[in-house]
Structure 1
């Protein structure tokens, strides 16, 4: 009996171990099946993605080029002395607006007045010699006709008269030069504009074309702004400018916080900068309020043209990725599809779709972070592109709770419709 019971113990142990293994395997299989069934139910029950959408509309879109410009005065003149002498008077105040021909400074004219008097005395002497030579020539002419004097004497007297005439002309030229020097002593403004800080004081000895000069005059009204555009955009500018169109140019402050002035494009450079691939343009501004200051940096917008009947969508609807530029197009079955488009100009709020989209089609504008091609969606509200800015401003003035309530109201209206 004891022998039989001892041999049966290993058998029972193996059976017990087998039963445990079977139970473990069944439990694992059950867990896998439950997990798979739960995952399937989760996937099937995924709710649609709530998104905002807008309809593509038809409207106008300005083609604008943005550039960095520099205010360039129409004239900047550094007034230099034309002769040497002591400065006796300064007739302007620093920062003063002056007219063309207005008195600026005076150089001591006395030495030039004395030189002029000497030239006048020499002129009187030479005119007397000329008168005597002409009188002798008249007498020699009569004697020569009577064959009373040698022919050579008559000829020599003719040359003497010519020499005296030349001397008189030279004296008159010297007097004219001294008159000019006296005019240079009285320095006037060559152009109208605003004078800068004073560079010299009365009592200083100035020399001809000496630096830094007497004063610098800058013309402020009108003024110009110089800026560059890339070569890819030059063709359209040339076409419009060559047709005689007046292209509007707007200048903004360096931080783009405010508009400073408006003007028109009036000149294009004749060469392309090979280092940057740009060409220089210049616009003129009346600058009556003197808002543009010489050599100031400004931001410039050039209105090249305005597209008519363009397809417009809100700029947030446009995405870029592996397909290129695309939008999420809302289908009739409340799904979305990736729709490749070709973009045109944009004003920041709306973007032109040159091709790939028709007016009236709906595109997703918000909630695209988890979208994919064929995904189910639920519209939170559909609004047309290019809607007025006043409602948008009112919405932005609301608090967060009010803005969310506004979205839920749109969703309810859409479902009811």
Structure 2
């Protein structure tokens, strides 16, 4: 009986050892707590400063005055006193025409006036004599009236002669062609010795004003209220002209001021024409040239500035990732102004550190590793 009990106890012990071994082999291994992997990012600090706001367009350079020099009378071109490409001032003598025929007509008119004045002088003396004789009825009233009519006739003839002289002087002045504007002489179309006619379609050459000069461009009609405010401001709005893209043009060709808004919106394009005037002493702007134009529409005071890569677009709003400790948080922001170089936002504070690269792997609460680069700030120079 004692042997049977020992066997039972031995069997229970063996079964206990087997179960314990199985449990030890199959129990879950203890795992050490692990942290989520860090995300490498680049960061930037929010800068607070004044930012000019601009609208861009493509414009054409126009001369404020461009005159085609044409003859006002028929005649032979005797002299050209300027060269192609020469700068001239208003009033400078440009060319002369043969004036001999007109000078002869003027001399003839002067002679006729002298003859008429002599006749008028005699007639006036006779009139005075007749007036004295008429007091004592020495002559008839009819003779006095006839003499008075003769004096009036000679006076009218004298006025006609004077008008003929004035007309001849005007014709004579046309033989000397003066520049009506200050500008630059264009390519010459005729040479001295040619017979010029008023009806000729082709003139001698053009004189085009270069300084000051204008740039004409078009803007969307939505900008019309802003344009009215800019035009009525005490200081005209600043306009800059560039060749090519202004992002790659450090120095503008010129800086001008808004001067004119057209009197109607184009029904075809929905745009309004705008003109700006530029001082152009170095002749960097040239008539007919195509330029990129930027019009300053205002200045955003104490703006919060970040690069465009910082702001992310959500389903319903814009947001940014702000660094908080060793992680990030999502902060909704409002887009105040944007262009190719910068964004102006609200909803953050100046000096906040925001993620500028690596957002695709982030979510609120993600741990980050800032790449070993100094914290960047937006370029202080704003695209003009």
TM over 0.5: yes
Whether the 8 Å CA contact 1:56–1:384 is kept in 2: the answer is: no
Residue from 274, 280, 296 that aligns with 1:281: 274
Superposed CA deviations along residues 106-139 of structure 1, whole A, max 9, x for unmatched, are 1111111121122122212222221232122122
1:302 is aligned to 2:295: yes
Q: Does 1:351 align with 2:317?
A: no
Task: Give deviations 1:224-273, integer Å, cap 9, x for gaps.
Answer: 22223333334344334423124322221135443343323141224242
Distance 1:377 1:211, change over 3 A: farther
1:69 to 55, 59, 63: 59
* Distance (Å, rounded) in 2 between the aligned partners of 1:320 and 1:141: 107
> Relative to structure 1, is the Cα distance of residues 209 and 187 closer, same or farther in structure 2, using a 3 angstrom cutoff?
farther
SS in 1 for 2:82: coil
Question: How many angstroms does 1:57 deviate by?
Answer: 3.0
Partner of 2:377: 385
Look up the match of 2:259: 267
- Indicate conservation of the 8 Å contact 1:260/1:292, yes or no: no
- Cα distance, 1:239–1:376 mapped onto 2, change above 3 Å: same
Aligned to 2:253, the other structure's residue is in SS state: strand
Deviations 1:255-310 (A, max 9, x none): 54433433231412242423333333333322222111111111122223322211
Unmatched runs of 5 consecutive residues or more in structure 2: 1-30
- Distance across 2 between alignment mates of 1:190 and 1:263: 27
Instruction: Give the distance between the partners of 1:387 and 1:294, measured in 2 at CA.
Output: 35
Gaps of 5+ in 1: 1-40, 390-417
TM-score (norm 1): 0.74
Q: Does 1:320 align with 2:310?
A: no
| Aligned match for 2:124, one of 134, 139, 158 | 134
1: distance between equivalents of 2:236 and 2:261? 17
Q: Comparing both structures, which one devotes a greater share of its residues to helix?
A: 1
* TM-score, normalisation: structure 2: 0.80
For residue 204 of structure 2, what is the aligned residue in structure 1?
A: 214
Is the 1:62–1:347 contact (alpha carbons within 8 Å) kept by the matching residues of 2? no
Once the two structures are superposed, residues 71-117 of structure 1 have per-residue CA deviations (whole angstroms, 9 ceiling, x without a partner) of 11221111111111111221111111112222211111111112112
* Residue 143 (1) aligns with residue 128 (2): no
- Kept in 1, the 8 Å contact 2:254–2:284? The answer is no
